[in-house]
Amino acid sequence: MCKKVTYFTKKLLNMQLETFWLQCKKLFMGIVMPFILKKIFIPKESNKKIQQFLIDDAKLNISNSQKLLAKGRVFDENHKVLQNGQKVKGEFIQVALFEGHTRGLKPIFETEDFAVFDKPSGIMVHPTSRNTEYTLLDEIRYHFGESANLAHRIDQETSGLVLITKHKYSDIILKEMFENKQYDKNYLAVVEGKVEDSITINSGIKKATNSKIGVKMETSEDGKDSLTFIRPLKYFKDTNQTLVEAVPQTGRQHQIRVHLESIGHRIVGDPIYGIDEDIADLYLLKKLQNDVRVETTGNKRLLLHANYLSFQYKNINYKIYSKLSL
């Protein structure tokens, strides 16, 4: 005699994730990053509001449930976005959760609390829009799960070391370390012209005025205090370029790029500083052809590299060098 299929049996059988990739050509509610849809069945007698349901039944914490609702990633069974305050009804709801995927990038060093990636140039560390298909965050979540996060950020075109936290405790400690500048971080850069002596650049930095480039910064007396030490390493006579070590003591946006450009030693390959703003605009719109970029900026990528990172964690001193090169 067959047993009756109860609601709870059905719920148990359907608790596995219904996983699929939302491809760029197959939009679902405007989301094109790699997400999974988690289907969560609603008990028949439930009269909960959606946020409480996400906490109690989906086992999400308060912060994540608020973020998902605010970003429109919670849907009813008819694929309509649910708003905070609405009561759940129907057979189930669906939650779109970010699921990192890998393209083969692995950390070069890790402990039980943190890891370090050697990021190639051209990879963003974090999604900037729903159209972002792949970032370093994909690798972080793929390797270490939902609790892992970035301790700091570097620009998309800057290559080199990025520190990753694996859980909430290390996230708090290491982010505080970066905020308090309790670390040493050195960069390598190839710049235009000959740099003969070590240079200290202490010009203030602020958002550029009279510029159509929204992300552009500039040096200014009324800018935020900024300090960068520059040391020449090798001069290339045939190209009139110098390999330098840059050590920023503050963390302003585009600090090394802005400071070097301000003293006449623009970083080779920089698609924003020291070039015509029409070219910079084409770059930001992703319409700048490679040959035009090489001709106008000197290289197909920004020649800036996060080469060295040292810090103390749990009374252990860590000194980490990049394995990549410019």
Q: Which residues are catalytic?
A: 155
Is the Cβ–Cβ distance between 74 and 95 less than 8 Å? yes
Q: Which fold, 185-326? A: Pseudouridine synthase (3.30.2350)
Rounded CA separation 48/54 (Å): 9
Q: Where are the domains of the chain?
A: 7-98, 101-180, 185-326
pLDDT of residue 17: 35
Q: Report the alpha-carbon distance of residue 72 to residue 26 in Å, rounded.
A: 18
Q: pTM (2 decimals)?
A: 0.79
Q: Are strands 159-165 and 304-313 parallel, antiparallel or unpaired?
A: parallel
Structure tokens at 287: 């319409």
Give the total residue count for the chain.
326
Question: How does DSSP assign 12-72, residue by residue?
Answer: HHT-S-B-----TTS-BTTB-S-EEEEEEEPPTT---BHHHHHHHTS---HHHHHHHHHTT
Segment (H or E) for 301: none
pLDDT along the chain (326 residues), means of 10: 45 39 39 68 88 88 85 89 91 85 96 98 86 89 91 96 96 95 96 98 97 96 97 98 97 97 98 97 96 97 98 97 93
310 vs 198: CA distance, rounded Å: 22
Determine phi and psi for 164, rounding to 5 degrees: -120, 135
Taken in order 37, 38, 43, 46, the sign of the CA dihedral is negative
Measured at the CA of 220, the angle between CA 279 and CA 204, to 5 degrees, comes to 110
Run of H or E residues at 126: none
How high is the pLDDT of residue 26?
39
CA-nearest of 34, 14, 8, 187 to 99 is 34
Look at the alpha carbons of 226, 161, 120, 171 in this order and tell me if their dihedral is positive or negative. Answer: negative
Sign, Cα dihedral of 205, 149, 177, 71 = positive
Residue 142 sits at the vertex; the CA angle it makes with 118 and 79, to the nearest 5 degrees, is 135
**At a CB cut-off of 8 Å and minimum separation 6, what does 136 contact?**
105, 117, 119, 123, 124, 125, 126, 150, 162
Q: Tell me whether the CATH fold assigned to 101-180 matches the one assigned to 185-326.
A: yes
For position 99, what pLDDT does the model report? 77
For residue 178, the model assigns a pLDDT of: 94
Superfamily (CATH H level) for 101-180: Pseudouridine synthase (3.30.2350.10)
Collapsing DSSP to helix, strand or coil, 178 comes out as: helix
